[in-house]
Structure 1
Amino acid sequence: MEHKCCDTPATLPLWPDVATVLGIGRSTAYELVRTGEFPIRVLRLGKKLRVSTVDLDRYLSGHRDRAA
């Protein structure tokens, strides 16, 4: 499902998209999800793990604000 206002998908796969944006590897990403420590809400869709684009944007915005 995609947002109607633009070409951005509503969710992104945990690996490789989200993990790469966060600068972490595949094993680390899956371990953080397994332990409940992944910094963004993860959606389990069958065997697939996805992250909401909106949630990822909020997380990244919060980290940019703190870094400035």
Structure 2
Amino acid sequence: MKLSARNQFPGTIQEVRKGATTTHVRIEVAPGVVFTASITNESAEELGLAPGQRAVAVVKASDVMVGTES
């Protein structure tokens, strides 16, 4: 798989939780570092996602916001 996105994080699927229209997929990319993706149920089924499976979290964003307490 080749993508133009630079932010690719390989990891292991920890949880696949199907909802009414979307599925939440939790991917652990480092010990204690977990990305959660919300994808369509159809996409989750087509990919055959399951806990323990290797996957890549791909982050493509045009903006990154930064906040502080002050």
Taking structure 2 as the reference length, what is the TM-score of the superposition? 0.29
More strand by share: 2
More helix by share: 1
